[in-house]
Structure 1
Amino acid sequence: MTRRGVRVLTGLIGLVLLIGAGLWIWQVSSRPASAEDTALSYLRALESGDAAALAAVSTAAPETALTAFAAADERIGDVTTTAVEQSGDTATAEVAFVLAGERHTASLPLSQVEGSWRIDAAGLGSLRADTTAGSFVRIGDATFAIGEKVALFPAVYTVTPAPRDLLSGQADVIVLPGESAAVSLDAALLPEATEAAQTALDEHLAECTTGGADVPSGCGIRIPWGTEFRAVSDIRYRIETPPSLTLTPTGFDAEDGVLIATVTGTGQDGTPRTTTYRTESWLLRGDASFTETSVVLSPW
Structure 2
Amino acid sequence: MTAVRRPRKVLLVLAVSLIVMGVVAITLLWLFRSPQATARTTVDEVFHGLATGDSDAISAAGIRVPDAAAQAFAAAEAYLSEPTITQLVKHDNSATADVTFQLDGATHTTTVQLTHADGAWSITEGLWGTLTATSTQGTHVAVGDALMTLDEQHPVLPAVYTVVAAPSSFLGGSATATVLPDAGGEAAVTAQLHESGRAFVQEAIEDYARDCAAVTTALAERCGLTVPWAADLATLESVSVDIERMPRVELAEMKPGADTADFSAADGVVIVTVSGKTTAGSDEEFSYRSPQWMLTGTYSFEGDELIVRVR
- TM-score under structure 1 length normalisation: 0.85
**Residue in 2 aligned with 1:221?**
225
**Residue in 2 aligned with 1:100?**
104
Stretches of structure 1 that go unaligned for 5 or more consecutive residues are none
Quick check: 118-127 or 88-97, which moved more? 88-97
Give the superposition deviation at 1:107: 3.6
- Distance in structure 2 (CA, Å) of the matches to 1:142 and 1:15: 58
Contact 1:211-1:234 at 8 Å conserved across structures: no
Quick check: 122-131 or 258-267, which moved more? 122-131
**Residue in 2 aligned with 1:235?**
239
- Distance in structure 1 (CA, Å) of the matches to 2:17 and 2:209: 90
Percent identity reads: 29
Judged with a 3 Å threshold, the aligned counterparts in structure 2 of structure 1 residues 209 and 45 are, in CA distance, closer, same or farther, namely same
2:308 to 293, 297, 300: 297
Contact 1:227-1:268 at 8 Å conserved across structures: no
1:67 to 57, 71, 74: 71
Judged with a 3 Å threshold, the aligned counterparts in structure 2 of structure 1 residues 259 and 147 are, in CA distance, closer, same or farther, namely farther
Give the superposition deviation at 1:291: 4.5
Give the superposition deviation at 1:37: 4.0
Give the superposition deviation at 1:242: 0.5
Stretches of structure 2 that go unaligned for 5 or more consecutive residues are 1-6, 255-260
Judged with a 3 Å threshold, the aligned counterparts in structure 2 of structure 1 residues 205 and 58 are, in CA distance, closer, same or farther, namely farther
**Residue in 1 aligned with 2:22?**
19
Contact 2:110-2:126 at 8 Å conserved across structures: no
- Distance in structure 2 (CA, Å) of the matches to 1:127 and 1:226: 61
Give the superposition deviation at 1:104: 1.9
Give the superposition deviation at 1:281: 0.8
Give the superposition deviation at 1:232: 1.6
- TM-score under structure 2 length normalisation: 0.82
Judged with a 3 Å threshold, the aligned counterparts in structure 2 of structure 1 residues 51 and 278 are, in CA distance, closer, same or farther, namely same
| 1:258 and 2:269 are equivalent in the alignment | yes
Amino acid aligned to 2:300:
S
**Residue in 2 aligned with 1:77?**
81
| 1:288 and 2:292 are equivalent in the alignment | no
Contact 1:244-1:254 at 8 Å conserved across structures: yes
Q: Deviations over 1:125-165 (max 9, x none)?
A: 11122222333322122222333432111000111122323
Judged with a 3 Å threshold, the aligned counterparts in structure 2 of structure 1 residues 106 and 195 are, in CA distance, closer, same or farther, namely same
| 1:155 and 2:159 are equivalent in the alignment | yes
- Distance in structure 1 (CA, Å) of the matches to 2:62 and 2:297: 47
2:49 to 31, 37, 45: 45
* Pairing of 1:159-238 with structure 2 (within 5 A): 159-238=163-242
- Distance in structure 2 (CA, Å) of the matches to 1:95 and 1:268: 91
- Distance in structure 1 (CA, Å) of the matches to 2:110 and 2:237: 75
Q: What is the aligned residue count?
A: 297
- Distance in structure 2 (CA, Å) of the matches to 1:287 and 1:140: 28
Q: Deviations over 1:60-83 (max 9, x none)?
A: 311111111111111112223445
Amino acid aligned to 1:125:
G
Judged with a 3 Å threshold, the aligned counterparts in structure 2 of structure 1 residues 232 and 111 are, in CA distance, closer, same or farther, namely farther
Amino acid aligned to 1:286:
G
How much is the aligned-residue C-alpha RMSD, in angstroms? 3.0
- Distance in structure 2 (CA, Å) of the matches to 1:205 and 1:110: 62
Give the superposition deviation at 1:34: 4.5
Give the secondary structure class of the aligned counterpart of 1:254: strand
Quick check: 29-38 or 19-28, which moved more? 29-38
Amino acid aligned to 2:71:
T
Judged with a 3 Å threshold, the aligned counterparts in structure 2 of structure 1 residues 237 and 90 are, in CA distance, closer, same or farther, namely farther
Give the superposition deviation at 1:288: 0.9
Amino acid aligned to 1:295:
L
